Structure 1
Amino acid sequence: MSGQAEKDDLVLRNDYHFRKLLTALPNVSVQGYDKDRRVVYWNKSSELLYGYSEEEAMGNLLEDLIIPDSMREDIIEAHGAWLRDGVEIPAAELELIDKERKRVPVFSSHVMLNRCTENPEMFCVDVDLSGQKRIEKEVQYLSQYDSQTGLFNKNSLFTYTKKTLEKAHLDRQMTVAIFIGMRALHDPIKSSALSSTTNF
């Protein structure tokens, strides 16, 4: 076997092992694109995450499927720079889009195979961050609001009141702050009594 034939055989074997590895990542979205950014690989997790079946995705451009309009030019340029100059696309948190054009938060990393050949392929490995973002949003909400009433919690109420009073003082305005205990708000009987006694 000639030297070039050995290199070609090695490339094929490496490509085979890489694709086999990808199939062993059932919960990670993986897409493969050719030098023109057309889909050549689309695993089951990509179908679930982005809403396109493998048949729908294959052969289509990356930017026509999951890239928001605001990111299209940057993605095309970054892909071209990697092919031309070897400038890798850094891993990062991104907000891509699904088939319904809804935002999909992911942590995206990239691998380029056969860059110096006539048939380079870029693979994107996307980890869905939707669950994490949802938890972060809930924690942020609970840090400011009471879970039962939907009103400001004590810390947020005091912070808001302090700022309001400070502004009123600067504007030389008269301001009255009335506080009702949170326990009373959670107690229907006490809450009803408070409502009747504070109804001027």
Structure 2
Amino acid sequence: MEAFTHLSTHAAPLNLANIDTDQIIPKQFLTTIERKGLGNGLFYDFRFDENGNPKPDFVLNQERYKGTKMIVAGDNFGCGSSREHAPWALLDFGIRCVIAPSFADIFYNNCFKNGILPIKLPQAQVDELMQDAKGHNFRFDVDLETQTVTAPSGKEYHFEIEPSMKRALLLGLDDIADSLTHKVEIERYQEKRKTLTPWL
């Protein structure tokens, strides 16, 4: 998993509440367990019409937001089914950070397991960042170490994060990699078990 330390990017404003995982990555794209290529299906019904043509009014299809690595979204982002394909699709598209007033719990946790930083901020602050994202000077800086988001205006926003999740992102550790940091202790325990319970 790629570590997350600092991000400097423009941000795409997606001012919609209750965006569920089927909207993030529709069910027809769930036939694979490969993570690559899922970005093509990200927000598919928002991005494309029934003939597969890009919808010019959708934010991620607009030239000024091309290549963004951050989304500022509405409340309850990632609700719905618990599909891990949702963060996979965001990551494959290039999104490394989502800022919203709240997230669905399973989606929120899945983000950390895949190298995406979900940031919870009060609604009033998200509204400010949403307006900043619509501006012309719209470069944002996210610093995980200091737990801050700096808006284009220079205004700084502090966010909270659970320490173990912060550590995993900073070091680029998914659950398996994190477990393997205790490899010596695991091997020592296994040897001890062989001695204490040789019949197992």
The TM-score, its normalising length taken from structure 1, stands at 0.28
Which one has a bigger Cα radius of gyration?
Answer: 1
**Between structures 1 and 2, the one with greater helix share:** 1
Higher relative contact order (CA 8 A, sep 6+): 2
